[in-house]
């Protein structure tokens, strides 16, 4: 790849602090972002900034790492525009305060709400692999929640970052948006500033650095990392289902040249059908997906950098498995042909870390529980897991239920791959080593808001609160905690369980108020 600074204007280090201070001042002094109308207008500007520059952004990514223009328009920009529209259409619903219903009887006459208030200034650091959609969702959520934003895209896609930051800086209010371009030095200076929340998408090594730095100022962080997301094929699969399964696995591995945080990282297949599955995946790669693929091919993304190219080819060359397709590469263009390696074991070079490239190891098994134990001991908490089975009903399929209970993951799919990331209103995020925090749709709004309890008490009378004030009277001393009615705390609840037997489900109780029992209690205290 050519020198980054030929295509990307790095932000001067000395301008980073003033830029962050500018948007912080804009947030606190103007308070304009508390208005839903202001937020909607910003989201509208964001939408048209993207839709008016589809070709320029797509061409930039084609130049940066030979990303297919069709893939960019379909997976990134189209999906990103959908996220912005979803946020705009649901903003009033997301922002509406929630009324607290089950409250102590003393508060029955006072409004009690949970309101969502902006956090302040959000730092969003996005990755190279999907530099648009993984930025768009976070930015849209932060705008919708009423925050100011500092945005740092990846320097590894310099042309895209140059165009993207320019169109956003032109479209969004400068008091609420500041973009920083650059590398390690610029990111380090950013992390020296104080933010109200940081969202980082990338690898675990950098994620740990960001989390440690954020901890110095008690800044909360969302980390969307990755991990080795497995495909687990169960032994109930019928032969006629193998072509469909193979096609879905191959797409989920080799899309974007395997540079996807929720890509299929490896396959666990039962020994009885593994050979047929591998044979079909090889056929699909050769005949359907990539029959003419070679270095420089317009429909096949290349590896992002020489460093990443060397890491992936090192895995291939050091593997003890059998290459059944692929292995070809061109160092000059960072091209690696889609590669499947069969007969892998857990100690293979391909099974050490997340691959993040066009390489698919296949492990066969005869004992599912033993294999799942190996998985959880080596690569627990992937960002996603994909299970293929004849029976997707978890309550009927004991093997499926066992896997889902054993393997903690950010998300899970049965009989398909990757598509969890496309959902506008379901949480997307990791667990454990694959990160923490989630976003998308209402979960983005919640992630970039503080949910504040708000109570409106009256000054008209104090009689209903007299029970809580000193001093201790003889009447109070005679009473014990058991004398206090349960609905003094939450009117709709009472003790429904015995001391030793299994606790049954709580009975339905539609009683709206505990005022009578509360009043009885008060009258005994203050006759």
Spatial distance between the Cα atoms of 142 and 133, rounded to a whole number of angstroms? 14
Spatial distance between the Cα atoms of 86 and 434, rounded to a whole number of angstroms? 26
Contact 204, 175 (CB under 8 A): no
Question: Three-class SS of residue 226?
Answer: coil
Q: Is 236 exposed, middle or buried (0-12, 13-18, 19+ CB in 10 A)?
A: middle
Question: Three-class SS of residue 29?
Answer: helix
The Cα angle at residue 276 between residues 271 and 277, in degrees rounded to 5:
85
Give the contacts of 284 (CB within 8 A, at least 6 positions apart).
243, 246, 247, 250
End-to-end CA, the chain: 85
Within its chain, how far is the Cα of 284 from the centroid?
A: 31
Q: Looking up tokens 């919640």, which residue turns up?
A: 446
Cα-Cα-Cα-Cα torsion 131, 132, 136, 138, nearest 10 degrees, comes to -10
Spatial distance between the Cα atoms of 139 and 122, rounded to a whole number of angstroms? 9
Please identify which of the residues 160, 257, 261, 334 carries the catalytic annotation. Answer: 261
What tokens were used for 309? 């190219």
H/E stretch holding 325: strand 322-325
Q: Which of 281, 260, 259, 256 is nearest to 388 (CA)?
A: 281
| Rounded (to 5) percent helix, strand, coil in the chain | 45, 15, 40
Contact 155, 8 (CB under 8 A): yes
Give the contacts of 128 (CB within 8 A, at least 6 positions apart).
65, 154, 156, 157, 259, 304
What tokens were used for 490? 């939450």
DSSP state of 122: E
Contact 326, 360 (CB under 8 A): no
Residue 24 phi/psi, 5-degree rounding, is -65, -45
What tokens were used for 422? 């496309």
Residue 257 bears catalytic tag: no
Please identify which of the residues 155, 186, 189, 224 carries the catalytic annotation. Answer: 224
H/E stretch holding 90: helix 78-95
Give the contacts of 46 (CB within 8 A, at least 6 positions apart).
84, 136, 139, 140, 143, 168, 171, 172
The strand order across the sheet containing 197-201 reads 177-179, 148-152, 121-125, 197-201, 221-224, 435-436
Residue 261 bears catalytic tag: yes
Active-site residues, by number, are 224, 261
């Amino acid at each position: 790849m050519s020198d980054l600074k030929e295509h990307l204007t790095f932000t001067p280090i000395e301008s980073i602090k003033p830029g962050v201070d500018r948007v912080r001042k804009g947030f606190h002094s103007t308070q304009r972002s508390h208005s839903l109308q202001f937020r909607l207008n910003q989201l509208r500007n964001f939408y048209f900034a993207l839709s008016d520059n589809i070709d320029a952004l797509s061409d930039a990514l084609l130049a940066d790492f030979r990303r297919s223009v069709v893939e960019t328009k379909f997976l990134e920009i189209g999906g990103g525009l959908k996220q912005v529209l979803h946020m705009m259409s649901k903003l009033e619903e997301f922002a509406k305060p929630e009324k607290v219903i089950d409250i102590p009887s003393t508060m029955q006459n006072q409004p009690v709400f949970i309101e969502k208030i902006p956090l302040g200034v959000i730092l969003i650091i996005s990755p190279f692999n999907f530099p648009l959609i993984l930025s768009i969702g976070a930015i849209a959520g932060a705008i919708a929640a009423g925050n100011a934003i500092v945005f740092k895209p990846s320097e590894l896609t310099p042309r895209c970052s140059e165009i993207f930051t320019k169109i956003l800086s032109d479209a969004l209010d400068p008091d609420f948006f500041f973009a920083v371009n650059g590398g390690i030095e610029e990111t380090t200076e950013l992390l020296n500033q104080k933010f109200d929340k940081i969202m980082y998408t990338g690898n675990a090594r950098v994620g740990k650095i960001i989390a440690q730095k954020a901890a110095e100022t008690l800044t909360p962080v969302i980390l969307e990392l990755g991990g080795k997301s497995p495909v687990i094929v169960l032994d109930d699969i019928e032969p006629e289902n193998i072509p469909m399964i193979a096609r879905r696995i191959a797409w989920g591995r080799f899309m974007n040249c395997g540079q996807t945080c929720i890509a299929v990282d490896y396959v666990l297949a039962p020994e009885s059908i593994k050979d047929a599955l591998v044979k079909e995946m090889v056929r699909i790669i050769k005949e359907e997906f990539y029959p003419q693929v070679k270095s420089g091919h317009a429909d096949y993304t290349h590896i992002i950098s020489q460093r990443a190219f060397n890491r992936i080819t090192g895995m291939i060359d050091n593997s003890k498995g059998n290459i059944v397709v692929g292995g070809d590469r061109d160092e000059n263009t960072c091209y690696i042909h889609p590669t499947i390696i069969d007969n892998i074991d857990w100690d293979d070079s391909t099974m050490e870390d997340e691959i993040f490239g066009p390489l698919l190891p296949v492990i066969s098994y005869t004992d599912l529980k033993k294999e799942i134990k190996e998985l959880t001991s080596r690569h627990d908490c992937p960002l996603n897991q994909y299970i293929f089975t004849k029976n997707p009903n978890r309550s009927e399929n004991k093997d499926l239920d066992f896997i889902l209970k054993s393997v903690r993951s950010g998300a899970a799919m049965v009989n398909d791959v990757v598509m969890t990331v496309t959902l506008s209103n379901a949480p997307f995020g990791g667990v454990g080593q694959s990160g923490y925090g989630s976003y998308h749709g209402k979960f983005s709004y919640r992630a970039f808001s503080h949910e504040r309890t708000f109570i409106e008490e009256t000054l008209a009378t104090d009689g209903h609160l007299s029970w809580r004030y000193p001093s201790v009277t003889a009447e109070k001393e005679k009473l014990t905690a058991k004398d206090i009615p349960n609905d003094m705390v939450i009117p709709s609840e009472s003790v429904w369980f015995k001391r030793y037997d299994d606790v049954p489900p709580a009975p339905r109780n539609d009683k709206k108020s505990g005022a009578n029992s509360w009043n009885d209690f008060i009258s005994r205290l203050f006759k």
